[in-house]
Amino acid sequence: MATAILMPKLGLTMTEGTVDAWYKQAGDSVEKGEVIATISSEKLTHDVEAPEAGVLQIVTAEEQEQVCKEPIGYVGAAGEEVASVAVPEEPVMSNEATAEAPIEVKAPVRQQGTRIFITPIARKIAAERGYDYTQIPGTGGNGRITRRDVESYVPVAEAAPVKAISNTGEGLTGMRKVIAKRMHASLHDTAQVTLHRKANISPLMKFREKMKKKLGDEGKASLGINVLLTRAVVLALKDHPEMNASYANGEHTKHEAIHIGMAVAVDAGLIVPVMRDATNQSLSQLADSLQNVATGARNNTLSSDLLSGSTFTISNLGHAGVEYFTPILNTPEIGILGVGALSTKLVFTKKGKVKEQQELPLSLTFDHQVVDGAPAGEFLQTICQYLENPYRLVF
C-alpha cells in the first residue's frame, strides 16, 4: 500500500504550503529519508523526506499549493495504483476545513457546503466590520451566528490583510509571495512616517571597551551593538507604551509584553524572528535570545511560533554601509526602528574644540494613524538617551 507524503504543518498558524521543487521525477525510486522536495510556507522553507522507500507519485506539482496534512505525493510499490488510495476526490482547499481557529472554538466547525445560519443583526454587524461571517462560529439556536458571536469574534490578524490584496504577489511563491503581500499591505493600510536622527554613541563605545576588559570573553557576546541597541529599544518602549502596540481591524491595542522582532536576511528573502518577552531580560539573556533566533533563522530551524508575534521590530542595514532608510512597518505593529552604519565624525565641543564622535543613524517609522509625530520623536529621543547614557542600559 502506498504511503502518503503529506504537506507538513510547521507551526500553529500554517494552513497551507507551496511545493517549491521536486528533486525526483514521478516514477523515480526513492529511499526512505531521502530529501525529495522542498516546500515553503509564509514563514519558512522546509525539506520533505520520503516516508518510505518506493516509487514516487506526485500529486501537487511544483509551485502549487496544498493544504497542510494533505498528500503532495505518494511512495509505493512500482506500478501501484495510488491515485485512488487516499486522495480525496476534491481536495479541500479552503482553510475553514482545517484551520485551527485562533480563538477558543465554541461550536463544532461547520462542514464545508452546509448552509450557514446567521441572524439579520449579526449579518449586518459582520458586514460593517468587514468580517467574513463564514469564519465565525455560531452558538445560537440551530447553530446560527448571533450578534454576540460576531461581537466576540477576533479575526485572524495575519489572514485579513493577505485576503484584502489577493492580487498582490501573483506569480511569486512561498516566502517571496508572502513578503510581497505583507509589504504591499503594510504600505496600503497604514500612514507611515519615518523620522531620522543620529545617536552619539561615543560614550557607549567607551562603556563597551571598559566592560569588555572587565568581563573578558565571557561578556563579549553581551556587548554586541545589536544587543545594546535592543536593550535601549526595550527600555524606551517601557517608557512609551503607546509605541509597543498594534493597530488592526479598527482597534489600537497596547501590548503588555514586549516581543522584539529582528529582521534577518536569509537566502530565500527576509524573516523576522522574535525575541519573546524581552522586557525584563538582562543584556546576557538578550544576547542569548538574539543568537538563538538569528542562528535558527539562517539554518531554517525555527518553529513558526518564533516567526510571528513581535510587538516592535528592529531592522539593521548597517553592515551594508547604509545610513538612513525608511523601514516598512511590520504590520499590525505601529513602529519599526531602522539602524544604519556606525560612523565617526568630527564635531565641535562647546568650548570650540574639534573632537571625534561616533554616531549611529537611526530611522523610526511609525503609523501616523494612531501616533503623532511629536510622541514618536520623543520615543526616538528616548532611545538615543539610553544609548548616550549606557549605564542606564544595565539597570
Partner 1 sequence: MTRKITFMQAINEALDQSMDRDNNVILLGEDIAGGATIDHLGNEGAWGGVFGVTKGLVEKHGRERVIDTPISEMGYMGAAVGAAATGLRPVPELMFNDFLGFCFDTLLAQGSKMRYMFGGKAKIPMTVRTCHGAGASAAAQHSGSYYGMLGSIPGIKVVVPSNPYDAKGLLNAAIEDDNIVIFSEDKTLYGIKDEVPEDYYTVEIGKAKVKREGSDLTIVTIGKMLYVANDVADALEKDGVSVEVIDLVTAAPWDQDTIVNSVKKTGRLIIIDEANPHNNTATDISSVVANKAFDYLDGPIKCVCAPNTPVPFATNLEQLYLPNKEKVLDVAAELIQDLKKS
Residues that bind partner 1 (CB under 8 A): 106, 119-122, 124, 139-142, 144, 146-149
Between CA 73 and CA 133 the distance in angstroms is 34
DSSP state of 12: T
> Closest distance between partner 1 and the C-beta of residue 146, in Å?
4
Q: Which of residues 153 and 207 has its CB atom nearest to partner 1 in the complex?
A: 153
Q: CA separation (Å) from 284 to 20, 129, 138, 211, 245?
A: 38, 44, 48, 13, 26
Is the CB of 126 or the CB of 260 nearer to partner 1? 126
Beta bridge partners of 6: 71
Cβ-proximal residues to 59 (8 Å cutoff; 6+ apart), any chain:
66, 71, 72, 73, 74, 87
In the complex with partner 1, which residue's Cβ is closer, 42 or 149? 149
Place of cell 503532495: 72
What is the pairing mode between strands 71-76 and 54-58? Answer: antiparallel
Q: Which helix (H) or strand (E) holds 228?
A: helix 225-239
b/e code 155-167 from CB counts within 10 Å (16+ = b): bbbbbbbbeeeee
Comparing C-alpha atoms, which of 183, 129, 177, 176 is closest to residue 161?
183
Q: Which is nearer to partner 1, 106 or 345 (CB)?
A: 106
The span from the CA of 193 to the CA of 127, in Å, is 31
Shortest spacing between CB 111 and partner 1, in angstroms? 20
Q: Which is nearer to partner 1, 88 or 141 (CB)?
A: 141
Q: At closest approach, how far in Å is the CB of 12 from partner 1?
A: 25
Q: How far is the CB of 140 from partner 1 (least distance, A)?
A: 4
Catalytic annotation, pick one of 28, 132, 239, 372: 372
**Regarding beta strands 312-316 and 260-262, do their DSSP bridges make them parallel or antiparallel, or are they unpaired?**
parallel
Question: Closer to partner 1 at the Cβ: 147 or 255?
Answer: 147
Find the helix or strand (DSSP H, E) in which 212 lies.
helix 202-215
Q: How far is the CB of 152 from partner 1 (least distance, A)?
A: 8
Contacting residues for 116 by C-beta, under 8 A, at least 6 apart: 110, 133, 134, 138, 145
Cβ 131 to partner 1, closest distance in Å?
A: 16
Residue whose CB is less far from partner 1, 144 or 212: 144
Axis crossing angle, helix 225-239 with helix 283-299, rounded to the nearest 10: 110
Q: Establish whether 47 is a catalytic residue.
A: no
Q: How far apart are CA 106 and CA 98, in angstroms?
A: 16
Q: How far is the CB of 118 from partner 1 (least distance, A)?
A: 10
Least separation in angstroms between CB 120 and partner 1: 5
Catalytic residue among 196, 252, 255, 368: 368
- Residue spans of alpha helices (H) in 245-369: 283-299
List, in sequence order, every residue forming a beta bridge with 4; answer none if it has no partner: 74
- Cβ closest to partner 1, residue 140 vs residue 269: 140
In the chain the first and final C-alpha atoms are separated, in Å, by 63
Strand partners, 347: 355
CA separation for the pair 5, 75 (Å, rounded): 7
Q: Among this protein's residues, is 368 annotated catalytic?
A: yes
Residues involved in catalysis: 368, 372
